[in-house]
Amino acid sequence: MSAVGSQQGEAHNNSSTGELVKQLSNQLSTLIRKELNLAKAELTEKGKAAGVGAGIFGGAGVVGLLALGALTAALILLLDKGMDAWVAALIVAAIYAAIAGVLALVGRDRVREATPPAEQTIETVKEDVQWAKSQARSARR
């Protein structure tokens, strides 16, 4: 053990319970502040990912509206002129619908990726609880 470590050990042995409780309180408040900052950073990152997913959902909605317009045009042409024009419009509607489907699936996956809780914060909080328990046990000795 180094000289500094032994001096700290002696300081702990000479410290009163009140001083130890004060140190523990200060350390816990600092720890909680840091954990909150970490959680805030993680949630900001997750929020950005959710925003991208929501934007893709918006794109799927626009393309879906285009598919509805093309389908409407296909039905009108079917009733008005016959087979050739509506087949072309129906193919366009099918293409738009396929694009909308793909965008919706990609957007859904992006939103799902962003919704779990902040894993890193949960892990460090668990570690901090263990640390606090060990500090409390050693203070009782």
Question: Has residue 37 been placed in a domain?
Answer: no
What does the pLDDT look like over 16-46, one tens digit per residue? 877 888 888 888 888 888 888 888 888 888 8
* 8 Å CB contact between 35 and 61: no
User: Is residue 10 predicted with pLDDT exceeding 60?
Assistant: no
How many domains are contained in the chain?
1
Q: Which residues of 29-50 are buried (b: 16+ CB within 10 A; e: fewer)?
A: eeeeeeeeeebeebeeebeeeb
Residue 21 lies in a domain: no
Residue 3 lies in a domain: no
Residue-wise pLDDT for 48-59, tens only, equals 888 888 888 899
With a cut of 80, say whether residue 118 has pLDDT above it: no
* Residue 66 domain flag: yes
Is residue 108 included in any domain, yes or no? Answer: yes
Residue ranges making up the domain that contains 59 = 43-140
**26 inside domain:** no
In-domain check, residue 24? no
**Angle separating helix axes 119-140 and 17-80, nearest 10 degrees:** 170
pTM to 2 decimals?
Answer: 0.39
CB 103 within 8 A of CB 56: yes
- Domain assignment present for residue 33? The answer is no
Band of residue 3 on the pLDDT scale cut at 50, 70, 90: very low
Instruction: For Cα atoms 141, 33, 113, give the angle at the middle one, nearest 5 degrees.
Output: 115
Query: For position 101, what pLDDT does the model report?
Result: 93
Tell me, what's the pLDDT at 141?
64
